[in-house]
Structure 1
Amino acid sequence: MTHDQWRDATRPKVQGTWNLHEAFPRHRDLDFFIILSSCAGVFGNRGQANYAAAGAYQDGLARYRRQLGLKAVSVDLGIMLDVGVLAEKGAAGDLAAMEQHLGIHEYEFHGLMRAVINGQLRNDSATQIITGLATSAIVAKSGMPRPAYLGHPRFSHLALSNGSASQDGPAETVGARLREAKSKDEVAQIITDALIAKVAEILRTPESEVDPARPLYTYGVDSLVAMEVRSWIVREIQVDVSLFEILLAVPMGQFAIGLAERKSIGNERGDGAAR
């Protein structure tokens, strides 16, 4: 690329974000400071070194502000649906194949922003939140092209599962169990058991340590984990749910009952998913 192409992509993010940082120094600290970066800065999008570098700078600036005792969270967004360049012009090639499984809807983005703001108000937010990265299991299930970053040692934890290790687990059989359920109570119990198993899998803890009487957030489920839980619910239970609902102070058992109610409505309509 030319130097002008490099500068045109990096200047708004680098100089623009630095200007905002200098506008709010220590004596003018804010309740929250959110930088919208890109997951390209994490894995280095081929052919977009300028854009990736600019995103990595924003991640670094968030860490720098936190070291100064100032508020800052860098949110590395992946493929945005509904709004933005791809929504307006349409995705092509690998992006088109990936957006269905990794894309973020506008309402999910709003839920993520609420969670990030609330986390900063409580002073317990992460400095960097990454979205839009696929695991080997997601690639295997969706049939999407395998991202190049999964072959790099830095992302080995995302590449550990090829999608076959959990074929006998609750996440793989919950759909079949729900189709065979005879009552709403049975549906609620199946969802509760599957939700407990999913949370235990994500947190790498025994299922016996996950209490359905406690809300999800009490197990450290932040906005990033909530997005993974939401994707699983939509895929396996076929009920649409927002990030905000997942992060509410509602016991998991009660949350599962709510999903069961919506699942029943969706099945009665015969459309496969309640929305």
Structure 2
Amino acid sequence: MPIAGVFQLAMVLKDLPILQISYDDWNIVQNPKVKGTWNLHEALSGIDLEFFILFGSQSALYGMPGQASYAAANAFLDSFVQYRQSLNLPCSVIDIGAMEGVGYVSNVPSTLGLFRDLGAGFLQEQDLMDAVRISITKSLSSETPSGPRCGYTSLSQISTGLKTSKLMSDPTNRTTWKRDIRMSLYRQLESTEKLCTDSNDGGLRALLNSASTNPDLLYDPDSIALVTAAIGRTICGFTLYPEDDLDVNTTLLTAMGIDSLVSIEIRNWWRRTLGVDVSVLDVVNGGTIERLGRVAIKQLREKYPVKQSIESSRNGVAQKDTQRINLVDEFSSYMSAPWNLQGFLDHPT
């Protein structure tokens, strides 16, 4: 059976500070992508392929701390596309970002948590499949824009997942490419989106921004209602359920058309907007919007714990009352004790 095309997905990670990378450490990371790709190129040189797709990484675009060797290996893949196409051979590369649900990052909790803390946006499996389809059509060399202002442009190099779950202006956003001048357009698009969504989510954004410094707000009934209403409004948007017919306390999620696919969209919105995680199962089994609102508030309270909660405040009052009662007992005991005034005067200490 003839070979139609190639998918090169080989990868080895060994993150180290650049000054601690030995020659062997360097080769361990380089060989799968550099030598592996060259071996495939040589072995299939006489075969008429329809596509030759290399799976790279966004580390080749902007780098990641501790990944100098990995970034170099993926930069080789980006350049190899030019080389093969100069020989009129098909080749394309996908520089993949952090993926959720499948792949290396999703299987290593510490790495997954690191990306979330940085504010990275996550790809879903379908996003990668879409990129593969585009890459197949872009494997063959095609004319690229040229001119003094264009520089080099490769239509066969695709980067997917270059996004963030937090606003670029958010001080907790620590994505590596945040201050890259090439991302200035992203900032403009974000500003436009913000203008479009502020009218609906302005109150929720303000609450979340304030909760980090004043967690007591999350115990305010108005705040609970605000979060619940935002969840309801979002789900209505996903399911096209009329907002006028929604009762957050009684309308069942199943009646709104919530299924596993919609639950994934809700989970993505939940993480992106609220900054906390919720499982698809929790969404499906939520029952009503009001219950989902309680889940969200509970998660936000855990994310922004108060220094002295309402219960601890009450405990503090109780402790003060206990101390006051103890003092009264001590004073009563003191007043009822027999005095030896002459002894005290003779020996005051």
TM over 0.5: yes
In structure 1, C-alpha distance between the alignment counterparts of 2:194 and 2:50, rounded to whole Å: 45
Q: Is the Cα–Cα contact under 8 Å of residues 60 and 75 in structure 2 kept in the other structure?
A: yes
Q: Identity over aligned residues, as a percent?
A: 29
Contact 1:38 1:76 (C-alpha < 8 Å) held by counterparts: yes
Does 1:130 pair with 2:159? yes
Alignment partners' CA distance in 1, 2:180 and 2:140 = 36
Quote the residue 2:90 is aligned against: 71
2:156 pairs with 1:139: no
| 1:263 alignment counterpart | 240
Please show how residues 204-215 of structure 1 align to structure 2 within 5 Å.
none
Aligned residues: 191
Give the match for residue 55 of structure 1: 74
Report what 1:80 is aligned to.
Answer: 99
For structure 2, the 5+ residue unaligned runs are 1-20, 144-153, 203-232, 243-252, 264-349
Q: Residue 104 in 1 paired to residue 143 in 2?
A: no
Tell me the distance in 2 between the aligned counterparts of 1:238 and 1:122.
44
AA aligned to 1:139 is: L
Identify the residue that residue 274 of structure 1 maps to in structure 2: 262
More relative contact order, 1 or 2 (CA 8 Å, 6+ apart): 1
Give unmatched runs, 5+ long, in structure 1.
177-235, 240-258
Q: Displacement, 1:43?
A: 0.4
Shift of 1:143: 7.4
**Which deviates further from its counterpart, 146-155 or 32-41?**
146-155
Q: Secondary structure at the match of 2:56?
A: strand
Are the counterparts in 1 of residues 95 and 159 from structure 2 also a CA contact under 8 Å?
A: yes
Distance change (3 Å), C-alpha of 1:121 and 1:128: closer
CA root-mean-square deviation: 3.8
Instruction: Give the aligned residue type for 1:77.
Output: I
3-state SS, counterpart of residue 12 of structure 1:
helix
Question: Match of 2:155, SS?
Answer: coil
CA displacement at 1:150 relative to structure 2: 2.6
Distance 1:152 1:120 in 2: 28
Q: Contact between 1:29 and 1:71, CA under 8 Å: does it hold in 2? A: no
Counterpart residue number, 1:185: none
Counterpart of 1:232 in structure 2 is none
Residues 1-275 of structure 1: pairs in structure 2 closer than 5 A? 1-25=21-45, 27-90=46-109, 91=111, 93-97=113-117, 102-120=121-139, 126-134=155-163, 138-140=166-168, 145-158=173-186, 160-161=187-188, 163-169=190-196, 262-264=239-241, 268-269=255-256, 274-275=262-263
Cα displacement string for residues 82-112 of structure 1 (whole angstroms, at most 9, x for unaligned residues): 222222221355313357x621122332232
Rounded to whole Å, the distance in 2 between the matches of 1:132 and 1:6 is: 26
Amino acid at match of 2:179: G
Alignment partners' CA distance in 1, 2:91 and 2:57? 15
State the Cα deviation string for residues 141-184 of structure 1 (Å, max 9, x = none): 887523232323344444x4384454333x655889xxxxxxxx
User: How far apart are 1:36 and its partner, in Å?
Assistant: 0.2
Larger Rg: 2
Q: 1:21, CA displacement in angstroms? A: 1.5
> In 1, distance between residues paired with 2:240 and 2:23?
54
Secondary structure at the aligned position of 2:188 is classed as coil
2:51 match: secondary structure:
coil
Opposite residue 50 of structure 2, the aligned amino acid is D
In 2 relative to 1, CA 168–87 (structure 1 residues): closer, same or farther, beyond 3 Å? closer
**Does the Cα contact within 8 Å between 2:81 and 2:156 map onto a contact in 1?**
yes
Contact 1:139 1:145 (8 Å CA) reproduced: yes
User: In 2 relative to 1, CA 109–144 (structure 1 residues): closer, same or farther, beyond 3 Å?
Assistant: farther
